[in-house]
Amino acid sequence: MPLALGSIVDGLAMARDQRATRPGLHSATDLGDAHLLSPPVSYTISEEDRAALCLHQDSATSGRYAYQRSGTRPAVVPPVDRPTVQQILVVDDEPQLVEVMGRYLRRLGYEVHLAGTAGQALELVRRHKFVAMVCDVGLPGISGTELVRCALLDEPHLAIVMCTGANDAATAKAAMARGAADYLVKPVPLAELGASIERALVRRQGMIEQEEGDRQARDLLSNRTEELMAERSALQALTAGVAEALVNAMEQKDVFLRGHSQRVAQLAGEIAVAMELDAATVAAVQLGGRLHDVGKIGIREAVLHKPGRLSEEEYAHVKEHVAIGMEILAPLPNLWPALEFVHHHHERVDGSGYPQGLRGEAISIGGRILAVADTFDALTSIRPYRERLGETEALAVLGGMTGTMLDETVYAALEQVVRDRRARWLAPFAADVPDTLFMQMAS
């Protein structure tokens, strides 16, 4: 296969390199007045064996070179110890210097691109996948330090070695602060340049591996968190199902309570939304509404169904439903904070409630919401001892309890919910109802 790399000069350099590492192999320096017989690119071997040494690109090693004697089996040069050819960009406005550095780095096995200005360098950075850049500090136009910043924006993992004159050391250090890995003072010994690039590449590889490790750790944590959230949701759904069965059993005892907890859950959830609480709290409020009276399963039916006024002993017995409910639900701790809301649903903001006599904001927000929703639903539902109230009357009764027994903010949200419900209910008929009447009905 014919030589594909730029020029015969490169081929000669490769041949010299191979001679250094493989003494038995004839190289271009053995050829005397070597001349080109192309294609393929060939050099006449000197008098020793009069064979031809053919230099060609070995497609199997992707850009590496092999030598063969004419008429003999190709002797493939072992690839350098890198998985692929690494690309390096050399940027300097001194053409001779940039050529020397480029030639040296090619001998080390890198694919080298050259640039004389920062603009050319950035253009090449965008077109190639460089692992490293050797960069002069004192470039015309855009400076070397600015080039460092711009190049790292395009290729964050680029290993950058600065080359500077003796009086540019402070600037070179500034370039390192912008992300360069090292700086060398001109004249730069080539061996030192090679060693510096190797160090920068090792550091670069370490950064890449660390970022990859961090990314994998984040992915693992994210996946595990999602799994835990799914498990938690499944457990909560199972627990809520158990609690639902308890509520259904409780409601079987009392026809007047049937549907009460479902309506309280619905209304409390709407109040929580109107108060712009977060979704998790809204869900907990709804669950608390469903569970708030589960303890009534432990209340004597004669007391629950009593049509007249309760005696003190009977009322004390009814109040026990909060403690009984907490005992029933205690084995389901993952229902928290809904459990706390259940515990607080008979507390009153003036401290007159039970079981703890909490005041104001010592009562959980869910507890204050359930108190309002529970009272409103009780007033607007039929009870053995009284008729139901209309919503407007019930709102008026609750309005008289705000600030003393019920939370004012929650009551305001209830008013909004009732208004919104009426508006939704009336909306289909709005076209048939005079505006003034509609406004009265919706208010």
Sites of contact with Fe ion (CB under 5 A): 293
Provide the minimum distance between the beta carbon of 261 and Fe ion in the complex, in angstroms, as a whole number.
Answer: 9
Residue showing the smallest CB distance to Fe ion in the complex: 293
What's at 325, amino acid-wise? G
CB closer to Fe ion, 86 vs 375:
375
What's at 288, amino acid-wise? G
Q: Assess contact for 97 and 164: CB atoms under 8 A.
A: no
The C-alpha atoms of residue 14 and residue 65 are separated, in whole angstroms, by: 8
Dihedral sign (CA 266, 270, 273, 275): negative
Provide the minimum distance between the beta carbon of 346 and Fe ion in the complex, in angstroms, as a whole number.
Answer: 6
Provide the minimum distance between the beta carbon of 382 and Fe ion in the complex, in angstroms, as a whole number.
Answer: 17
The C-alpha atoms of residue 351 and residue 359 are separated, in whole angstroms, by: 4
CB closer to Fe ion, 172 vs 410:
410
Residue 179 φ/ψ region, left for φ over 0, alpha for ψ in the -120 to 50 degree band, beta for the rest? left
What's at 351, amino acid-wise? G
Provide the minimum distance between the beta carbon of 277 and Fe ion in the complex, in angstroms, as a whole number.
Answer: 21
Reduced to 3 states (helix: H, G, I; strand: E, B; else coil), residue 214 is helix
Provide the minimum distance between the beta carbon of 338 and Fe ion in the complex, in angstroms, as a whole number.
Answer: 14
Provide the minimum distance between the beta carbon of 246 and Fe ion in the complex, in angstroms, as a whole number.
Answer: 14
Provide the minimum distance between the beta carbon of 429 and Fe ion in the complex, in angstroms, as a whole number.
Answer: 36
In this structure, are strands 111-115 and 87-91 parallel, antiparallel, or unpaired? parallel
Tokens of 146: 């600015």
CB closer to Fe ion, 293 vs 407:
293
Provide the minimum distance between the beta carbon of 416 and Fe ion in the complex, in angstroms, as a whole number.
Answer: 24
CB closer to Fe ion, 186 vs 263:
263
CB closer to Fe ion, 354 vs 438:
354
CB closer to Fe ion, 293 vs 377:
293
In eight-state DSSP terms, residue 406 is B
Provide the minimum distance between the beta carbon of 372 and Fe ion in the complex, in angstroms, as a whole number.
Answer: 13
CB closer to Fe ion, 114 vs 257:
257
Q: Where are the alpha helices (DSSP H) in 84-189?
A: 95-107, 118-127, 144-154, 169-177
Q: Which residues make Cβ contacts (< 8 Å) with residue 56, sequence separation at least 6?
A: 1, 2, 3, 40, 41, 65, 66, 68
Q: At CB < 8 A and 24+ separation, what contacts does 307-314 make?
A: 307/384, 307/385, 308/385, 309/385
CB closer to Fe ion, 197 vs 250:
250
CB closer to Fe ion, 251 vs 293:
293
CB closer to Fe ion, 270 vs 293:
293
Closest CA to 391 of 348, 441, 350, 357: 441
Provide the minimum distance between the beta carbon of 341 and Fe ion in the complex, in angstroms, as a whole number.
Answer: 12
The C-alpha atoms of residue 279 and residue 265 are separated, in whole angstroms, by: 14
Residues 304-337 as b or e (16 or more Cβ within 10 Å = b): beeeeeeeeebeebbebbbeebbebbeebeebeb
Residue 67: how many CA atoms within 13 Å on its side-chain side?
24
Angle between helices 365-379 and 279-291 (to 10 degrees): 50
Provide the minimum distance between the beta carbon of 376 and Fe ion in the complex, in angstroms, as a whole number.
Answer: 13
Q: What are phi and psi of 19, to 5 degrees?
A: -65, -35
Closest CA to 336 of 284, 294, 293: 284
CB closer to Fe ion, 293 vs 340:
293
In eight-state DSSP terms, residue 402 is B
